[in-house]
């Protein structure tokens, strides 16, 4: 998974590229901010276009939460203790990526508790956790509901008012939300490489 949210500088490289989807992707709402700030106000379709251009994907909610909570299932990326930042910080405040060095997960990923909210690939269902809890099979990297329940709404993470990482909400894929950004994930091939003859 990307160590930081996609920055304005990275997103502009995509928009200035010759990729066919680049000219169909929207301009960030925070276009005038410094280049090391997350690209904000990017709708889901434009985030997905960027991810494909970069050879990556938008993470599932399960991937995002695993990256944030680690193998121990922490409440916060830094563990279960209270947040300790180098200066006062409020939830929803957006600034440069990786500015708060203690907002780092066990995997070295920054800004999963704070900074921008982030898109996930899952369709949003407010009862998804309840449905997951009632399953009896072993689930690895659950991809959430297979389709939207009507309106095209995707999961957004990084929304808790107390920094905990299990907060979630649903936002329409066409919406441009001023404090919503994204990051990407690179998945290894799920199919084994073909054997070669010697």
Q: Which domains does the chain have, with CATH numbers?
A: 1-187 (3.90.1580.10)
Read off the tokens for 35. Answer: 């280049």
Average pLDDT over residues 19-29: 94
Say whether pLDDT at 198 is over 50. Answer: no
Q: What is the mean pLDDT of the chain?
A: 89
Cα–Cα–Cα angle for 6, 107, 127, rounded to 5 degrees: 75
Of all residues in the chain, the percent with pLDDT exceeding 70 is 84
Residue-level pLDDT at 159: 86
Would you say residue 53 has pLDDT above 70? yes
Q: What is the mean pLDDT of residues 22-32?
A: 95
Beta strand pairing status for 168-172 and 117-123?
unpaired
Residue 188 has a pLDDT of 80
Distance CA 85, CA 107 (A): 19
Question: pLDDT at residue 177 above 60?
Answer: yes
pLDDT at position 46 is: 98
> How far is the CA of 1 from the CAs of 90, 132, 163, 188, 196, in angstroms?
25, 23, 20, 11, 30
Q: What angle do CA 144, 145, 147 make, to 5 degrees?
A: 135
Residue 7 has pLDDT above 80, yes or no: yes
**How many CA atoms are closer than 13 Å to the CA of 120, on its beta-carbon side?**
29
pLDDT over threshold 70, residue 86: yes
pLDDT of residue 145: 60
**Token code pair at residue 33:** 């901010």
pTM, entire model: 0.88
Model pLDDT for residues 64-81, shown as the tens digit of each residue: 999 999 999 999 999 999
For 114-158, write each residue's pLDDT tens digit: 999 999 999 998 887 666 566 566 555 666 666 666 789 999 999
* Separation CA 198–CA 196 (nearest Å): 6
């Amino acid at each position: 998974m990307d160590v930081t949210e996609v920055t304005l500088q990275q997103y502009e490289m995509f928009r200035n590229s010759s990729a066919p989807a680049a000219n169909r992707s929207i301009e960030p709402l925070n276009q005038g901010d410094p280049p090391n700030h997350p690209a904000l106000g990017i709708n889901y379709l434009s985030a997905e276009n960027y991810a494909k251009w970069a050879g990556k994907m938008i993470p599932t909610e399960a991937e995002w939460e695993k990256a944030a909570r680690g193998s121990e299932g922490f409440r916060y990326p830094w563990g279960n203790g209270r947040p300790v930042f180098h200066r006062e910080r409020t939830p929803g405040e957006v600034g440069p990526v990786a500015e708060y060095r203690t907002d780092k997960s066990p995997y070295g990923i920054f800004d999963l508790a704070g900074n921008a909210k982030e898109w996930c690939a899952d369709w949003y269902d407010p009862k998804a956790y309840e449905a997951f809890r009632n399953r009896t099979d072993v689930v690895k990297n659950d991809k959430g509901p297979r389709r939207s329940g009507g309106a095209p709404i995707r999961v957004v993470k990084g929304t808790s008012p107390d920094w905990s990482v299990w907060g979630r909400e649903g936002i329409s894929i066409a919406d441009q939300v001023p404090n919503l950004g994204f990051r990407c994930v690179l998945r290894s091939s799920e199919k084994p490489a073909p054997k070669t003859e010697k």
